[in-house]
Each structure stands twice: as C-alpha cells, then as structure tokens.
C-alpha cells in the first residue's frame, strides 16, 4: 500500500485512521478463519501477519517485507502465499456476499469489469509476459488480471478476479507444471471470456447488482455483450471511436440488381451506410449535450457533457444505445 503524501499532509489524524483501519482488517480476518483451514491446520494467523506487514508499507517484495520484522518467518510466509492450499476463491466469495448484503436497496448497484497490470521482473511469476500493462499505459513485462468490483454511489469494493494467462504460458506445459498452475486454469481464455466467467460466477452466488459496466475492451466484444444481453441484464460499456453504427435503424434486405449484367444479389444487406462513432460525434452541436453530475471527488463534483442516441450496432435488428461523453 502506497500512502498519498498529499493525503497525509491534509489529514492531521491520518495515522490514527490508518491504525483503526488495520485493527478492523485484523478483526475481519479473525471472523473468517474457516477460509484458511487446510486439512487439520488453520493458517489464519499467517494471513493476519501478512496483512499487517503489507498494510503500512510501500514494499511489495516478500523478502524485503520480512526484513521489517512483522513477517517473522520468510519461508512460512512464502509457503502461505505460493503453496498453501487455502481457498482464495472462497475468500473472495465471502467478500462478495458481504458487500452485496451491505449495499442499500434504494440505489442502483453496478458490477464493473476491468483489468489491471503489475510490472514484474523475470519470467517465474505465473502469467508474466511482455504485454500491455494498464497501470503504466504501455507494453512491459507484467502480470495482468481481470477484476470485478461492486459499486453504489461513492462506495466500491473488489469482489472477484481471474489471472490472465497469455498463449506463451498456456502453450508451454512444462512451464505450467513448474509454476503449479491449477489444471482447470491451463486453457487459454481471452480477457472477455474471463469477464464472462466472473459474471456467471457472481450470478451463481446471487450477488445483487442492477447493471454491468466496462470499458471498450469489453464493450466492443459482441460475443460478451450478446451473452449479457441474453441474460436480460442491463449493461453500460464503452465502445471504440472507430466502431461503426447506424444512427437510424437500417432495413436488412437483398439489394435490387442495378443492371442486367453480373450476378443477381442474394445476400441481405443494410440499406444505409454505417458510420463510425467519431464521425457521428462530428455531426453534434453543443446544444445536443446536457451537463450531468457523475460523482463526488476530492476536488468536488465530477461533471461531464452527456449525449444519448439510440443506434443499431452491427447489422442485427436489436438496437443498442450509443452514449457520447
């Protein structure tokens, strides 16, 4: 955890708040000891020890953390993180159920899907590869995972995640064996497929949410959005500016033959030409937008200009709203 210098400067009792939060976290972990049951042994004490070591520190290397004196035994902590068979998914499921039950029922709850990356050195960490790392905005040696968060108003919490394995990993059986990757995680899956797995899993847990949100990586994937649409779940996702849409609903039919020459048309086509979202944006004027308040921030309310237009996405008959900000 990295502490923001500005926040420390502006908050006189920041240290007191941090200590109270750590105390609450330690108490919370003690309430879910069953998650850390491994056979006849319970490793919850290691979970508390590890949480206490990383909470106030900017260090992310376990060996460096052990030097602080909080992690008493480097090898035991390493075993707890890498080899111990306590159920990490059960822990996330518990957090999901707790968060879902604690949100109020008078405001919409969103299930937001996004990916994040962590820079890494070497080639040993599971899933590490030269790939796009969103945290730094470029391709670098990193691990990438797809995450899910529940949000309501100004509150949000992470509830699920799945590590992305590039093809360089899933195609290398020896590497998978050496890293002890679970057998059910060795098949290559796109980030969008991982997102759909998370959504289906949260539905199976009966997690409460009213809509699904995501950026263009997920919104531009029609297989994913079609799957969500088939579940009758509302979703609000970005699309790329080069995505082509029909501002008016096209008629899908076989075009008339323009002359007696050539083959007779047989394939149904839309009767109007699709345009990119960026081209559509150029047709808008200032009066076509309305000012809305999005959320509260440290610097006040975040506002944006909003425009909504019902467009047809692709050549299907179903309409999809395209929102421009």
Give the tokens for residue 146.
């797809």
Low-confidence ranges of the chain (pLDDT < 50): 1-3, 6-8, 316-325
Same domain for 133 and 184?
yes
The pLDDT value given to residue 61: 66
- Percent of the chain whose pLDDT exceeds 90: 48
Confidence at residue 63, expressed as pLDDT on a 0 to 100 scale: 67
pLDDT of residue 323: 47
Asked if 115 contacts 147 with a C-beta cutoff of 8 angstroms, the reply is: yes
Residue 192 DSSP SS3: helix
Provide φ and ψ at 70, rounded to 5°.
-80, -45
Residue 66 confidence (pLDDT): 65
Residue 269, pLDDT score: 81
Same domain, residue pair 75 and 112: no
Whether 101 and 152 map to the same domain: the answer is: yes
3-state percent helix, strand, coil for the chain, nearest multiple of 5: 35, 25, 35
- Name the domain count of the chain: 3
Both 100 and 189 in one domain: the answer is yes
User: Is the Cβ–Cβ distance between 131 and 142 less than 8 Å?
Assistant: yes
- pLDDT value for 65: 65
pTM: 0.81
Same domain, yes or no: 110 and 206: yes
Amino acid 1: pLDDT:
40
Structure-block tokens of residue 211: 């809509």
| Range of the structural domain that residue 50 is part of | 1-86
- The predicted-structure confidence for 40-82, as pLDDT tens digits, reads as follows 888 888 888 887 777 666 655 666 666 666 666 778 878 888 8
191 close to 115: Cβ distance less than 8 angstroms: yes
């Amino acid at each position: 955890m990295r502490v923001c210098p500005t926040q420390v400067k502006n908050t006189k009792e920041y240290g007191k708040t941090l200590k109270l939060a750590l105390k609450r976290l330690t108490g919370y972990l003690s309430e879910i000891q069953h998650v850390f049951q491994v056979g006849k042994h319970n490793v919850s004490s290691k979970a508390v020890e590890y949480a206490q070591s990383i909470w106030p520190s900017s260090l992310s290397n376990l060996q460096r953390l052990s030097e602080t004196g909080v992690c008493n035994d480097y090898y035991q902590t390493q075993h707890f993180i890498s080899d111990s068979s306590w159920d990490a998914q059960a822990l996330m499921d518990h957090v999901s159920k707790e968060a879902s039950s604690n949100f109020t029922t008078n405001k919409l709850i969103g299930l937001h899907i996004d990916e994040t990356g962590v820079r890494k050195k070497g080639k040993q960490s599971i899933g590490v590869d030269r790939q796009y790392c969103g945290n730094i905005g470029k391709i670098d040696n990193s691990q990438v995972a797809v995450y899910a968060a529940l949000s309501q108003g100004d509150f949000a919490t992470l509830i699920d995640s799945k590590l992305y394995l590039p093809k360089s990993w899933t195609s290398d059986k020896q590497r998978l064996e050496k890293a002890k990757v679970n057998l059910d995680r060795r098949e290559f899956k796109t980030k969008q497929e991982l997102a759909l797995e998370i959504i289906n899993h949260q539905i199976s847990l009966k997690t409460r949410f009213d809509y699904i949100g995501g950026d263009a990586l997920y919104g531009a994937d029609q297989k994913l959005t079609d799957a969500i649409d088939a579940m009758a779940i509302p979703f609000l996702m970005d699309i790329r500016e080069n995505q082509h849409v029909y501002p008016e609903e096209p008629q899908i039919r076989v075009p008339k033959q323009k002359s007696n020459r050539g083959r007779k048309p047989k394939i149904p086509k839309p009767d109007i030409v699709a345009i990119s979202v960026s081209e559509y944006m150029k047709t808008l004027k200032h009066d076509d937008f309305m000012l809305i308040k999005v959320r509260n921030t440290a610097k006040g309310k975040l506002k944006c200009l909003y425009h909504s237009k019902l467009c047809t996405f692709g050549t299907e008959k179903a309409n999809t709203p395209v929102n421009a900000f």
